[in-house]
Chain A
């Protein structure tokens, strides 16, 4: 079993749709959680951190469920520019020196 698992997709949604991605992790000692975005053939960039209380940044909402060991990302009112691969990232311990990336979920938003 992979340490961080994501549905690879692809998710094909129309503009304006709401789409949700889930990610599960196996190490219960994991401390920090993040969503990164990666455009085709580009480097990953931080989208948002994920906090236990949940957090929102505009159209994006991230949730963490420690008991079930999963993280979610909700995108509301999808835009064409949201088309990308979304990477779930978990650190392996204190300090965050060892990072585990999920394989990513591919999203296509169509007009």
Chain B
């Protein structure tokens, strides 16, 4: 059974760094073809893809945020991470992690709400 769960700070202030963790089970990020992606959704709005990391440590970022994003993984502990630097109110959203099998997102976490506010 594949499950993913996101965790994060809940609330942070503008200019701070947002650190998110995706803890998963039912698959391994050391398996050929597997990956984890991060997607966010502001309240009442659509979905925005942020970044992917693959089993071979290959990484892809959304260019609109690339300089602010860092994705990484801890294969032994079944976790993936996303950092967003210099946050502002526009980064307020629900953040999801999702498994990538071969090349599409199949299982998603429940999401974690992040609010940026002074």
A and B held together in a complex: no
Tell me the A residues contacting B by CB distance below 8 Å.
none
